Amino acid sequence: MKWPSLQKRCLPGLILLLATPSIAEQPAYRHGISLLHELKYPADFEHFEYANPHAPKGGELRLAATNPIRNFAGVPGTGVPGAQGLGRTVDRLMIRSADELSGLYGQLADGIALAADRRSLFVRLNDKARWHDGVPVTTADVRFSYDELLKRAFGKVYLQSWIEALEIVNARELIIRHRRTFTNSNLVALTWFPIRPAHYYAGKDSSTPTLVPPVGSGPYRVADFDADFVRYERVEDYWGRDIPVNRGRYNFDVIRYDVYRDATVAREAIRKGLFDIYFETDIRHWVSSYDIPARATGSLVMETRSVQKFIGLATGIVLNLDRPRLRDVRVREALTLALDFEWQNRVFQYGSQTRATSYFANSPFAATGPPTQAELAVLAPYRERLPERVFTEAFRLPVSDATGLNRPALERARDLLAEAGWTLKDGRLVNARGLPFELELTTQNPSQRRVLLPYIEALGTLGIDARLRLLDNVAWVNSLRKRDFDAYVRGHDFLNPPLGELESYFGSDTADLELGGNMAGLRDPIVDALIDHAERRVGSLEEAMTACRALDRVLLWGFYHIPLNIPDQERFVRWDKFARPKGEAVAKYEYLVGSSVRILDSWWIDPYKAGARLLPPRVARQR
């Protein structure tokens, strides 16, 4: 009577064993991988420096979420935002350490090996890896997850574009074949790749939003939820509790997210102690909204962290090169000079922002000063086709005195426009045919009006008929899809290191993609060649930096974007109830929350501090 059930359970594994290839060359598996530098942590490492292996488990962490709890599918592209914190319920093949530029270490995988020709990546799963229902994690789960992702835009862009084949060797080993050769960005993409349970989804639709939490493999599981909160509990028998990348992390017994749809309400709630940490993104409230007695006693703490996970332009204005009047570099330079960043930073941002003067600002990939000899060697083949100043000058933007009188920059902008054939006539800038210079600045973010309206006024002094257009979601998508815009305010930062996104942001092959990253429509064979050099023709981190700096100079002197600010500091308000690892300061490549390597997961509850919070203020101060 038991044979049919046994047959059903064993037959897939038997078929897998018979149908899949063996490994012709025996891979030299390692615990991690980096294509840019030596790994910081050796094969026998016990824990990350920013984690405390002796941290006690227990207590509750309460955080705020903005979206209602409506989806536990755990994959992108369902059309409904996933529940906040769901990433803690699943493990990945690899994770990126927070204290290295690009060090990747196995999580579900306990062995990683790259072939000598860099075209094949061998992955071996940890034989202890288990789903929460006790079923082993196998390569069948990886295959299922990969196939499901290829049905979505995420998989097509970040995986299918470079993966030629995913071959299953046996229940623990698989091979990922590359269409060309592996780059750093390909490896990083595998850290975003959620592994889902094939056995759970058998007979189920895995592509739609769901309010039934699926079985997971990570340190937490969903314990309770409704539309306004979700509560996660730590999995006591979590299979990966003591593997090196996890040791000393995931210390809270309970993590709860309460939904606050309105930021004003959330700020009031954090001031009342209804949750523990709030991430403040509005500098006006950071300056003025937390002057309460709890700050004076030290119970409520305001902190900042400088993080180098993202680099470049947090915000910039992209200029559409498909517009004839914007194809002249002199016009684009004039438009860049007309923006008075210093005045806006003083008036609207309390002087808190730093202007980006590089596409890779706030990193060693940014071009600074005159070109070095190494950079000149990279640029030399294109000398006849590039402006001389690329080779001889340091790129600089004008710096105003922040008083609102940006006269020298506007005068230079007027000269450049005149050189490009635009002249003032009756207060309006016109070309040789008498057509006026019109420029529509578009944004989806109402708060950007504070930046754009003064800029529009400055353009008006040059005779440019500039106007602002605020787009809703539908209009925004249609505008980008049809490339129906002159200038658009967008985020333009890069994951550090930036190598993996160069093609999508600047490559000719992506210029015509709907909703692609190359919104400027940049099509330049020199840029394409420099991107290929940076991604595939470097053998060390220093060479990668040199290649990016050379590319940076060509892009900067092309004035394809008007740069605004670099990525901001992480600002957060917290109640003083936590203890933290001594080595946390080294974790400069990761935020407190927001990825699979959340620094917050290395914190724990300090029982003395948490107890003091429950006492009346006077008694707490005496303690």
Q: What is the pLDDT of residue 480?
A: 82
Kindly state the tokens that stand for 126.
């940890």
User: Domain check: are 278 and 328 in the same one?
Assistant: no
Establish if 469 belongs to a structural domain.
yes
Establish if 107 belongs to a structural domain.
no
Establish if 195 belongs to a structural domain.
no
Rounded alpha-carbon distances, angstroms, from residue 298 to 276, 301, 320, 379, 522: 14, 6, 50, 55, 52
Pairing between β-strand 438-443 and β-strand 487-495 as defined by DSSP bridges: parallel
244 contacts 47 by C-beta, under 8 angstroms: yes
User: Domain check: are 462 and 403 in the same one?
Assistant: yes
470 Cα distance to chain centroid: 25
User: Domain check: are 329 and 432 in the same one?
Assistant: yes
CATH number of the domain bearing residue 265: 3.40.190.10
User: Domain check: are 398 and 541 in the same one?
Assistant: yes
User: Domain check: are 234 and 367 in the same one?
Assistant: no
Q: What is the residue-wise DSSP string for 37-93? A: S--SS-TT--S-TTS-TTPPP--EEEEEESS-S-----STTSSSPPPTTGGGG--BS
Kindly state the tokens that stand for 329.
């570099």
Establish if 162 belongs to a structural domain.
no
User: Domain check: are 499 and 420 in the same one?
Assistant: yes
480 contacts 431 by C-beta, under 8 angstroms: no
Establish if 350 belongs to a structural domain.
yes
Establish if 536 belongs to a structural domain.
yes
Q: What is the pLDDT of residue 612?
A: 58
Q: What is the pLDDT of residue 205?
A: 87
Give bridge partners of residue 441 from the DSSP assignment.
Answer: 468, 487
In whole angstroms, give the CA distance from residue 617 to residue 527: 62
At 568-611, the pLDDT tens digits run 999 999 999 999 999 999 999 999 987 767 899 999 999 988 77
User: Domain check: are 367 and 494 in the same one?
Assistant: yes
In whole angstroms, give the CA distance from residue 20 to residue 167: 7
What's the number of domains the chain is made of? Answer: 2
Domain ends where: 514, 544, 563?
563
- Put residue 594 in one of left, alpha, beta given phi > 0 → left and psi -120 to 50 → alpha: left
Domain ends where: 517, 543, 563?
563
99 contacts 48 by C-beta, under 8 angstroms: yes
Q: What is the pLDDT of residue 432?
A: 94
User: Domain check: are 460 and 585 in the same one?
Assistant: no
Query: Computed over its alpha carbons, how large is the radius of gyration of the chain?
Result: 27
Q: What is the residue-wise DSSP string for 108-146? A: SEEEEEE-TTSSEEEEEE-TT-B-TTSPBP-HHHHHHHH
- Identify the sign of the CA torsion 389, 393, 396, 399: negative
Q: What is the pLDDT of residue 1?
A: 35
At 163-213, the pLDDT tens digits run 999 999 999 999 999 999 999 889 999 998 889 999 999 999 888 899 999
User: Domain check: are 290 and 318 in the same one?
Assistant: no
In whole angstroms, give the CA distance from residue 91 to residue 70: 22
User: Domain check: are 530 and 459 in the same one?
Assistant: yes
Kindly state the tokens that stand for 525.
């064979």
Q: What is the pLDDT of residue 24?
A: 61
User: Domain check: are 396 and 289 in the same one?
Assistant: no
Of 111, 270, 224, give the one whose Cα is nearest residue 175.
Answer: 111
At 91-145, the pLDDT tens digits run 999 999 999 999 999 999 999 999 999 999 999 999 999 999 999 999 999 999 9
- Identify the sign of the CA torsion 187, 193, 199, 203: negative
Q: What is the pLDDT of residue 152?
A: 81
Domain ends where: 563, 584, 602?
563
Spans of the chain below 70 pLDDT: 1-25, 596, 612-623
Question: What domain range is 597 assigned to?
Answer: 220-308+569-622
Establish if 472 belongs to a structural domain.
yes
CATH number of the domain bearing residue 349: 3.10.105.10
In whole angstroms, give the CA distance from residue 405 to residue 123: 60
Rounded alpha-carbon distances, angstroms, from residue 484 to 112, 323, 336, 459, 481: 46, 9, 21, 21, 8
606-610 long-range Cβ contacts below 8 angstroms, 24+ apart: 606/577, 606/578, 606/579, 607/59, 609/576, 609/577, 609/578, 609/579, 610/59, 610/577
User: Domain check: are 315 and 438 in the same one?
Assistant: yes
Kindly state the tokens that stand for 619.
């008694």
Establish if 587 belongs to a structural domain.
yes
- DSSP 8-class letter at 539: -
**H-run or E-run covering 13:** helix 3-19
